[in-house]
């Protein structure tokens, strides 16, 4: 069971239909009043809880509609769930876990790896021209050529229109 906020070691937690509405107790969505913060919500009765399970997360009972209960998810979307699905009453502990600074590159590496992301990410301007459209040049700047073709459509003709030559203007002495 995920650690709900406000539940201490040695405290008893109740499971069932007729339980008091105290932090950590688990009951069906039909028994929980509207506006209550809940976590570990089941999508189908008996599946063990799938929604709002990460640190500091919670969903909220929005409306009752007969055999269904509308739940406001952590993402802001609403979902209609069967009223006999169970949920834990309370917000999960661990608020502010993501606000702690990543003090080492290894911490960022492990966080990215857990999410299946590449780390570190290299910007396009740091690459060579063969590797990225922004790559190459003597300085790192994200921009393309300023010249534009003569037969380009209106709206795309911004910059030098069909220039005779481009690049740095060299003096005649060289």
Of 163, 129, 55, 1, nearest in space to 12 by CA? 1
Task: Determine phi and psi for 99, rounding to 5 degrees.
Answer: -85, -15
Any idea what DSSP says for residue 108?
Answer: H
Residue 54 has pLDDT above 90, yes or no: no
What's the rounded mean pLDDT across residues 31-54? 92
Q: What is the pLDDT of residue 149?
A: 93
Q: What is the 3-state secondary structure (H, E, C) of 47-104?
A: CCCCECCCCCCCEEEEEEECCEEEEECCCCCEEEEECCCEEEECCECCCCHHHCCCCC
Residue ranges of domains in the chain: 1-97, 101-141
Q: What is the pLDDT of residue 174?
A: 56
pLDDT tens track for 162-173? 999 887 777 776
Instruction: Say how far apart CA 89 and CA 28 lie, in whole Å.
Output: 10
Q: What is the pLDDT of residue 105?
A: 95
pTM, entire model: 0.62
Task: Determine phi and psi for 98, rounding to 5 degrees.
Answer: -85, -10
Task: Determine phi and psi for 89, rounding to 5 degrees.
Answer: -85, 120
Of 35, 13, 11, nearest in space to 24 by CA? 13
What's the rounded mean pLDDT across residues 92-117? 92
Band of the pLDDT at 88, cuts 50, 70, 90?
very high
pLDDT tens track for 119-166? 999 999 999 999 988 898 899 998 888 899 999 999 999 889 999 988
* Higher-scoring residue by pLDDT: 144, 58: 58
**Does domain 1-97 match CATH 3.40.640.10?**
no
């Amino acid at each position: 069971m995920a650690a709900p906020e406000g539940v201490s070691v040695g405290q008893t937690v109740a499971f069932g239909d007729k339980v008091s509405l105290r932090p950590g107790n688990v009951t069906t969505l039909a028994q929980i009043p509207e506006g209550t913060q809940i976590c570990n919500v089941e999508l189908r009765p008996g599946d063990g809880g799938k929604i709002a399970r990460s640190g500091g997360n919670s969903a909220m009972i929005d409306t009752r509609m007969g055999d269904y209960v509308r739940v406001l998810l952590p993402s802001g979307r609403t979902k209609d769930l069967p009223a006999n699905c169970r949920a834990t009453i309370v917000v999960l502990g661990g608020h502010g876990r993501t606000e702690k600074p990543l003090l080492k590159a290894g911490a960022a590496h492990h966080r990215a790896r857990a999410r299946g992301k590449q780390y570190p990410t290299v910007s396009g301007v740091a690459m060579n021209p063969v590797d990225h459209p922004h790559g190459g040049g003597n300085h790192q700047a994200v921009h393309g050529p300023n010249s534009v073709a003569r037969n380009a459509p209106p709206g795309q003709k911004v910059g030098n229109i069909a220039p005779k030559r481009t690049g740095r203007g060299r003096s005649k002495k060289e």
